[in-house]
Copies of this chain bind each other. A is one copy, B any other.
Amino acid sequence: MKSGAKRPIGIFDSGIGGLTVVKAIRRMLPNENLIYFGDTARVPYGTKSASTVTRFSIENTAFLLKQGVKMAVIACNTSSSLSIDTLRGRFGLPIVGMIEPGARGALSATRNGRIGVIATPSTIKSGAYVKYLKCLDKNIKVFSASCPLFVPLVEEGWLDGKIVSDIAKRYLGPLRSKKIDTLILGCTHYPMLKGVIRAVMGRSVVLVDSGEEAAVTIKRILESSGSINNERSKTEPKFYVSDDPEKFSEVGRRFLGGRLKHVKRIRDGVYA
């Protein structure tokens, strides 16, 4: 184990969705110390432009770096698809995004080579998933759909019921006719809607959670560089947000299934 292995893993997201990734990392790597930043003052990212999302992402990564993290995880598909190259070029530490792990997970799950991707408008517009899937296997067929209302639905706490199901049918309808056997949940909010999405798509379609796949990648990178933390840690994750911590703590409880200790507010955009 390297001397720096005890340093925390830094994770950022536009808001609360990235907590599904925190959950996956904690399950996979229970000894790691985690620092999370949710940019709740400027959420959402998924409907904003590449240049704006990249500016925010640079600021978020700079904040994590200041906390002495050994790795940065972009727990936001929009930011991963629009900004990861810029961040990797700019910061000298391993950076894990959601797109590559999600795409790899889907490729190992598909049997018929027909993969669906659902994500925010900005992620779909970037074409990041299509590009990466085709790069790994040029014969794969990819079908995409953006679901702009899924994030507000999750933030509102509407996770099931007729209205949610009708919205899901409207967004997913075009994908159902494409005979896909695998669907990438290309936004860290979407695992909260797994029940509805599964009901609409049918049980035969495998749902790939990009956050869970990312946890596998993180473990592999830490192991191969000897940076994994082998010492049993009792530290709770530390959460930072740019808006009032109260709402984050409340909704976060629903995401993580337990109380969030250490939630602190910092000002967005001034830590770079």
Residues of A within 8 A of B (CB): 40-42, 47-49, 51-52, 148-149, 152-153, 155-156, 158, 162-163, 166-167, 170, 242-244, 246-247, 269
Contacts and interface: CB of A to CB of B under 8 A. Distances in A.
Contacts of A162: 166
Given A41-B42, A155-B47, A243 B52 contact: yes
Contact of A51 (B158, B244, B269): B244
A49 B244 contact: yes
Tally of this chain's copies: 2
Nearest to A39: B42
Nearest to A146: B156
Nearest to A150: B152
A52 B40 CA distance: 10
Nearest to A244: B49
A35 B71 CA distance: 44
Contact of A49 (B152, B170, B243, B269): B243
A247 B49 contact: yes
A272 to B, nearest CB: 12
28 contacts: A40-B48, A41-B42, A41-B48, A41-B52, A42-B42, A47-B155, A48-B243, A48-B244, A49-B243, A49-B244, A49-B246, A52-B242, A52-B243, A52-B244, A148-B155, A148-B156, A149-B149, A149-B152, A149-B156, A149-B158, A152-B152, A162-B166, A163-B163, A163-B166, A163-B167, A163-B170, A166-B166, A269-B269
